[in-house]
Amino acid sequence: MGLMAEDKKGAQALSSNSSQSATSQETSSAATTTRRSAGRQTSRATTTRTAKTRSTTKSAAKTASKTTRRTRAAKPAATVDFHHGEVPAQTLPVTDPAQFGRIAVMDITPNEESGRYPARVELGEPFTVTAQVFIEGRTKVGATAVLRNHRGKEMARVPMTCTNPGLDRWQATLAAGEHSDLKPWEDGFAAIKRQLGEWTVTIEGWEDTYTSWLHDAAIKVKVGDDVENALETGSNLLARWAKTKDAGLNAAQRKELAEAAATMADKTLDAKDRLAAATSETVTGLHATNPLRDGISPSQPQRFLVQRPKSSFAAWYQFFPRSEGAYVDPTTGKIVQGTLKTSVTGLERAKAEGFDIVYLPPIFPIGVTNRKGKNNTLVAGPDDPGSPFGIGSELGGHDTVDPLLGDMDDFKALTAKAHELGLEIALDFALQCSPDHPWVKAHPEWFRHKPDGSIAFAENPPKKYQDIYPIDFNADMPGIEKEVERVMELWIEAGVTIFRVDNPHTKPVRFWQDVIAAVTKRHPEVLFLAEAFTRPGMMRALSYVGFTQSHCYFPWRNTKKELAEYFEETNGDDGYYQHNTFWPTTPDILTAYVRDNGIAGHAVRAVLAAMGSPSWGIYNGFELIENRQRPGFEEQIDNEKYEIKVRNWSDAGKYGIAELLTNLNRIRREHVSLFGYHNLTVLETSDPNILAFARHTPAELTGTGKPETLIVVVNLDGHDAHQSMVHVELPDFGIDPARGAHVRDELTGREFDWSWDNFVSLAPWADVAHILTVEY
């Protein structure tokens, strides 16, 4: 039936010249009238949509308006030759977001929660977009991803690749801007800041007329069927391609296509030679780079929030200022605590080990009422300093430096020193109070009261936290928001660029949404880390509202299967929203694996954390193998949260972990293009104790013109040696199977030749891991 219908159209096209001319004029006039009407409809619809969008967000409105103007500009030609060969697909006006264009574009990823929350990427971080793109019948289509910055300027136009023809799935990898290591306080950061904000990606589907024609023409020439019509159609196609503005051809390229069209039209030549003119290296190359795109059908723009350097790629180092530089007074036998001034040694250690963010737990005055003693005992001794999370005393609250540590000038001096070393300061923000906090008297409505009039302390039955009053947000959330914004502004002015927020999941999501929006509106460079170990929905919601990074369940993923699944989850589409930061241990977490696997276990977890996520962190003392648990709890005994630690850092050289941390951070810096949340692939291994994965970035996104690949192989057993075969799907990583890969171990300097299947042997007393650079 379809062929018969096409034959009827062909017969109608063979009517008299005068009839053709009249029909052509009438159709052209009707098409022009229809386009004008559609243009007016598009304008009215655009005005309505823009007004609605403006009520939601001004920036989104600007983007929608610019995109709509671009879409309207892509009108069909003023006249269409209906009687000379095939009619090319036309760009259809779209007056409603639910309308399809000439080509169907659907299911664009990432596009979480129907596009209400933009995907997040770091400036210069490679990321992948996919979409379903298709047309009716057996006609061929193509797809292009168009990247525009927050001002609507086109920054990249990238051809998409069909990765699954059966599902019409197309894919492209992009990068918003170029990677930078500039810090917020450094010269030149203003230029970085101007690039931040909501960028968009538009997927343009289009009819691939050239490929569709070539498929049929090659068959017809081969079997000698309707050859002249096929070649004339191709000649007309190339000639039209040469004149198409959208193709972006230069004069030389237009000439090449015109000459190829002329050769195809030359009936004195052999049909195969004529066809060869359309399949030359030049023409096929232009099809790849500057194709003829008929019926261009743009999708609605997909938003991407482009954030500043270190929003994704970060190495954190945590220490307690009161322990840094602490010592035992030989005359009294008592501990003399460290201060902000002595904390410079912690900064220098973090710098030496290659970290770029120093995270300080709360440095505010500590309450006296119900102060906790060592190991969380209910009664504090006379010399117990209390938990820094029991915030607030008569000396002040969240806006005050604990006098035992110093004063605000000392803190500003510390941040200035950190900046001199190239380190950022992240400050803990625990939104909770001791019973002695000034807020308790000034704003009693901010706390939950029992029927007897007393304020309820924090508890998670049967656990009780008598030294902490949680905030109640029901009575005056706007007032609490305003105060928190004031306090954060104070610390930002003192040099803080990141807030690590304690237990944000115990506060309303809307509260954080308001606070983060207010802070980042004034300071878009400020980042937020969520210390949230809770249900997936809450963790995802916190990422939606602005938490740039997040603690996660990495410490409890230990088997090969658990780690493989978690790595793919962290580095998959979830990575556009939730940036998992891998910490092997924290003051709150010391797992059985770290406890039981000694030095090798610490090395294994460090390699997995540093290589498995673009963002990772170390709690100091890890270098000293501090791995004794408090009986019955997954945390350290003699926990630093409740006492001051006196450490002998000269012992760090005995274990080799500090050296390993330094090497891991060096590898990360030298291969920065590999550490995004979207380019990790788990590799097949034959031993259940050997985990292998690869990070790969194609040549066009490395900045060097060459692809980059790291292959990481880890023995998860801290006690026994294991051997395994590791399978590498060579073409997936740009490796020529005929040549194989020459790889270099970044940890030892040893070199190997790898192919599809490769033997490895790792022993915990020698090498717990290989980190292999593929040399192209």
- Over the stretch 606-644, which tens digit does the pLDDT of each residue have? 999 999 999 999 999 999 999 999 999 999 999 999 999
Q: How confident is the model at residue 141 (pLDDT cuts 50, 70, 90)?
A: very high
* pLDDT on residue 115: 83
255 assigned to a ligand binding site: no
- For residue 332, how far is the Cα from the chain centroid? 53
195 assigned to a ligand binding site: no
341 assigned to a ligand binding site: no
Instruction: Flag whether pLDDT at 689 surpasses 80.
Output: yes
Assigned CATH for 680-775: 2.60.40.1180
- 319 with 638: CB under 8 angstroms? no
Instruction: Flag whether pLDDT at 32 surpasses 60.
Output: no
- 13 with 82: CB under 8 angstroms? yes
416: which 2 tokens?
């200035």
Indicate the average pLDDT of the chain: 89
Give the pTM. Answer: 0.85
467 assigned to a ligand binding site: yes
Q: Report the distance separating Cα 453 and Cα 475, nearest Å.
A: 16
- Give percent of the chain with pLDDT exceeding 90: 83
* pLDDT on residue 82: 45
506: which 2 tokens?
């115990």
Q: How confident is the model at residue 462 (pLDDT cuts 50, 70, 90)?
A: confident
* pLDDT on residue 195: 95
Give per-residue pLDDT as tens, 524-564: 999 999 999 999 999 999 999 999 999 999 999 999 999 99
Strands 119-122 and 302-307 come out as parallel
Q: What is the mean pLDDT of residues 649-666?
A: 97
Which three-class secondary structure string do you get for 410-451? HHHHHHHHHHHCCCEEEEEEECEECCCCHHHHHCHHHECECC
Q: Report the distance separating Cα 409 and Cα 400, nearest Å.
A: 11
* pLDDT on residue 19: 36
736: which 2 tokens?
């020529």
Q: What is the mean pLDDT of residues 25-52?
A: 37
Instruction: Flag whether pLDDT at 7 surpasses 50.
Output: no
Catalytic residues: 502, 531
Q: How confident is the model at residue 459 (pLDDT cuts 50, 70, 90)?
A: confident
Higher pLDDT, 464 or 260: 260
Instruction: Flag whether pLDDT at 50 surpasses 60.
Output: no
- 747 with 663: CB under 8 angstroms? yes
724: which 2 tokens?
């395994």
Q: Report the distance separating Cα 621 and Cα 635, nearest Å.
A: 13
Instruction: Flag whether pLDDT at 151 surpasses 50.
Output: yes
432 assigned to a ligand binding site: yes
Q: Report the distance separating Cα 340 and Cα 406, nearest Å.
A: 6
Q: Report the distance separating Cα 586 and Cα 152, nearest Å.
A: 43
* pLDDT on residue 465: 82
Q: What is the mean pLDDT of residues 507-520?
A: 97
Least confident of 265-279, 407-421, 458-472, 528-542: 458-472
SS3 for 682? Answer: strand
Domain extents in the chain? 1-98, 680-775
Helix 598-612 to helix 560-570 angle (10° resolution) is 30
642 assigned to a ligand binding site: yes
- For residue 376, how far is the Cα from the chain centroid? 38
Q: What is the mean pLDDT of residues 11-15?
A: 34
Give per-residue pLDDT as tens, 390-410: 999 999 999 999 999 999 999
Lookup result for tokens 């973090």: 350
Give per-residue pLDDT as tens, 246-268: 999 999 999 999 999 999 999 99
Give per-residue pLDDT as tens, 345-382: 999 999 999 999 999 999 999 999 999 999 999 999 99
* pLDDT on residue 166: 94
Least confident of 25-34, 300-309, 486-495: 25-34
